[in-house]
Every structure is written in C-alpha cells, then in structure tokens.
Amino acid sequence: HEVNLVSFCQNILKQLKQVYKREITLEYDTSSLIVHADELKLKQVIIILLDNAMKYSQEKIEVFLEQKEQFAIIRVKDYGIGIPQEEIHNIFERFYRVDKARSRETGGTGLGLHIAKSIMKLHKGEIEIECNEGSGTTVKLLLPK
C-alpha cells in the first residue's frame, strides 16, 4: 500500500504521546513522502524504536523524515544511555540485550530490534544504528521509494 510517511508518523506520534507522556517531536523536509509498505508492520517497527527510546532515555525523543533520491529515511533519536560501539553488531540478534543486569529493570525480551530488522528486510529496506556524538542513540530506517 502507498503510505505517506508524514501523516502516518503524525498519527502514530499522536497516539503514543498520550500513552508515554513524553515529548516526541516530528520534523520533515517535505509534506508528502510516499513509500510502498505494509502499514501495520511499519507501524510495529516505529513503535519498537520509540519504545526502546522511551526505555533507554529520559529526555525528549525526536523523529526525522528525510527524502533521498531512492530512499525515504526515518530517524528515531534519543538522548539516553546509548549503545556501545562494540555492541552494535549484536543487538539485532534474537534475545540479545546489552548489559543484562542494567536492562533487566526496564523489562524486555531482546526481540524488538530483531523483529524490526526482519520487517525492514521484507520491505527491501534497511535498519542502521548511528551513534550520537555526546550521548544517545539514533536508529535510521531506509525504505525504498
């Protein structure tokens, strides 16, 4: 289905802001960013990323949409504990969690990012982790247009 990522993300954020009681901002450089995607599955990916940002950070969360020639890009950025560089290749593994003792308090199974990655694969897209300078995590989703 054709999905306009701008209104799609606006709707998801509107729903989640009420549940999370956290500031979540959305920025975009175009009012219409169309991709072909399974809406429910894509929504699941975005919720997984926002849920992680909620669990592993305390401050506001930012979502950015960007239009590239061949890809639409969604970034979910937080200012939390971050992911150590040497763990980045592990975190997409099933059941993998960084620092089990620390993250036990926050709950979770370690499945979220694994599921997100399989859904992105289904869409012939990609998921990447970008380390923030300073602190925090940015997860980047690439979706073919």
Q: Which listed residue (9, 35, 52, 119) binds ligand ATP by CB under 6 A?
A: 52
Contacts of ligand ATP in 77-96 (CB under 6 A)? 78, 80-83, 91, 96
Q: Is 62 in the site for ligand ATP (CB under 6 A)?
A: no
State the Cα–Cα distance between residues 62 and 139, nearest whole angstrom. 11
Contacts of ligand ATP in 113-142 (CB under 6 A)? 113-114, 137
Contacts of ligand ATP in 21-50 (CB under 6 A)? 48
Q: Which listed residue (3, 13, 46, 112) binds ligand ATP by CB under 6 A?
A: 112
Contact predicate 53/23, CB 8 Å:
no
Its sign, for the CA torsion 109, 113, 117, 120, is positive
The Cβ of residue 43 has, within 10 Å, a number of other Cβ atoms equal to: 18
103 sits in the region (left: phi over 0; alpha: psi -120 to 50; else beta) called alpha
Residues forming the site for ligand ATP (CB under 6 A) = 48, 52-53, 56, 78, 80-83, 91, 96-98, 103, 108-114, 137
